[in-house]
């Protein structure tokens, strides 16, 4: 009966077979083993090096004579290298997005460019079906405060504007209670197209569309972000913790590599739809406390009393 080997045993046997236990024939001129000496494993009939077998050596460029033991016939059956489906899409952030923030009109122009590019290239929204239109986001291009929700719902899909349904009316109340107007802030969602039946966005949808939200954050450069609900908080803060534990605690949005932008403080709070569903004094008091903290972060004094949210 064939003996079942552990992965470690398979790899150890693989190392022995391909000459990582160095033998004279496997050595290159510089005394390294065949991989270090510049013999591409594929050329020797081997699969591409795995993270483990690729040793990161600089190599010498001197090709060693292929060792007969590197032929496929002598190859042990190594543990298969499984390419796991990735939930991330490579997203190329344009230099204009990564660079220093411009003035208000430059930021507005950048947002318009991002919106057009999103519509034509977003891996999720260009392939998603069932929505009527895209809902990019709206508001002051140089807003100090940005609100981030999850995805458009029915009313947003119909109008092309974020947060205009019942949850949007609640968000408007929250913004007014803060002593701000809707046009003073920027409002966007993680997903720009409505998920079927308003379901929670899937990881691959977020991975495809989410980078465009990152671009919006970079374009607006708010002083603080308020995330509305769990999915928005998870994406913006890169955490898995649930919203009921995270709300009211300062988190951080970390810019992508190469961005000339400081990390931005994030205040997670409940989604306005949750506030409507769970209309308790405690939930409203917690949301108001989160909004007050966000106001303080951008250097504004909160109004003494917020009737719409707290009452
Ligand atoms: N819920 C969201 O998360 N975003 C909207 O735009 C509307 C409802």
pLDDT tens-digit map of 121-170: 999 999 999 999 999 999 999 999 999 999 999 999 999 999 999 999 99
* Residue 193 Cβ contacting ligand 1 at under 6 Å: no
Q: How many Cα atoms occupy the beta-carbon half-sphere of 43 within 13 Å?
A: 11
Buried (b) or exposed (e) across 75-94, using 16+ Cβ within 10 A? beebbeeeeeeeeeeebebe
Ligand 1 centroid – CA 113 distance (Å): 23
Which domains, ranges and CATH numbers included, belong to the chain? 1-83 (no CATH), 99-310 (3.40.470.10)
Q: Positive or negative CA dihedral for 298, 303, 306, 308?
A: negative
Query: What does the block give as tokens for 163?
Result: 């947060």
* The pLDDT of residue 89: 73
β-strand partners of 188: 148
Q: What is the pLDDT of residues 75-100, one digit of tens each?
A: 334 443 333 344 557 899 999 999 99
CA 161 to ligand 1: nearest atom: 6
Q: Is 45 left (phi over 0), alpha (psi -120 to 50) or beta?
A: left
Q: Is 142 in the pocket of ligand 1 (CB under 6 A)?
A: no
Nearest-angstrom CA–CA distance, 118 and 156: 17
Regarding the beta carbon of 162 and ligand 1, being less than 6 Å apart is answered yes
The side-by-side arrangement of strands in the sheet containing 186-189 is 138-139, 186-189, 145-149, 224-228, 264-269, 251-253
Q: Please write the tens of the pLDDT for every residue from 271-293.
A: 999 999 999 999 999 999 999 99
Task: Tell which atom from ligand 1 comes closest to the C-alpha of 156.
Answer: 6
The alpha carbon of 29 and the centre of ligand 1 are apart by a number of angstroms equal to: 64
Nearest to 251 by CA among 297, 206, 207: 297
| Res 33: pLDDT | 25
- DSSP H helices, 161-280, are 166-177, 203-220, 230-237, 243-246, 272-277
Q: What is the number of the ligand 1 atom nearest to the C-alpha of 187?
A: 6
* 189 touches ligand 1 (CB under 6 Å): yes
- Checking if the pLDDT of 308 tops 60, the result is no
Please tell me the pTM assigned to this model. Answer: 0.73
The preferred substitution site among 136, 156, 206, 236 for testing ligand 1, maximizing ligand atoms within 8 Å of CB, is: 156
Q: Please provide residue 287's backbone torsions phi and psi, each rounded to the nearest 5 degrees.
A: -65, -45
Atom of ligand 1 nearest to the CA of 135: 6
Q: What pLDDT, on a 0 to 100 scale, did the predictor assign at position 25?
A: 30
pLDDT at 303: 84
Distance (Å, whole) CA 219 – CA 230:
24
Given a cut of 50, is residue 28 above it in pLDDT? Answer: no
163 lines ligand 1 (CB under 6 A): yes
Say yes or no: CB of residue 151 within 6 Å of ligand 1.
yes
Verify whether ligand 1 is closer than 6 Å to residue 157 (CB atom): no
Is residue 29 over pLDDT 90?
A: no
Q: Is 272 in the pocket of ligand 1 (CB under 6 A)?
A: no
Q: Summarize pLDDT for 106-119 with one digit per residue, the tens.
A: 999 999 999 999 99
């Amino acid at each position: 009966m064939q003996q079942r080997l552990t992965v470690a045993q398979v790899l150890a046997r693989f190392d022995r077979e391909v000459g990582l236990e160095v033998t004279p024939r496997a050595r290159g001129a510089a005394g390294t083993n065949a991989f270090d000496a510049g013999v591409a494993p594929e050329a020797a009939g081997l699969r591409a090096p795995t993270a483990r077998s690729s040793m990161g050596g600089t190599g010498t460029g001197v090709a060693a004579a292929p060792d007969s033991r590197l032929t496929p016939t002598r190859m042990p059956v190594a543990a298969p290298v499984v390419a796991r489906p990735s939930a991330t899409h490579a997203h190329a952030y344009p230099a204009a997005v990564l660079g220093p923030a411009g003035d208000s009109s430059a930021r507005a122009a950048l947002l318009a460019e991002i919106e057009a590019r999103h519509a034509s290239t977003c891996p999720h929204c260009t392939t998603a079906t069932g929505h009527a239109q895209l809902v990019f986001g709206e508001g002051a291009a140089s807003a100090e405060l940005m609100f981030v929700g999850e995805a458009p719902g029915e009313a947003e899909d119909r109008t092309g504007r974020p947060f205009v349904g019942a949850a949007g009316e609640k968000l408007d109340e929250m913004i007014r209670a803060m002593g701000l107007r809707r046009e003073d802030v920027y409002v966007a969602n993680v997903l720009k197209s409505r998920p079927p039946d308003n379901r929670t966005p899937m990881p691959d949808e977020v991975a495809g569309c989410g980078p465009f939200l990152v671009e919006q954050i970079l374009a607006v450069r708010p002083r603080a972000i308020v995330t509305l609900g769990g999915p928005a908080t998870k994406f913006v803060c890169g955490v898995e913790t649930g919203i009921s534990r995270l709300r009211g605690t300062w988190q951080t949005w970390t810019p992508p590599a190469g961005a000339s932008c400081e990390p931005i403080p994030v205040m997670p709070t409940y989604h306005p739809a949750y506030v409507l569903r769970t209309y308790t004094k405690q939930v409203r008091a917690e949301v108001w406390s989160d909004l007050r903290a966000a106001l303080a972060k951008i250097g504004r004094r909160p109004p003494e009393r917020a009737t719409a949210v707290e009452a």
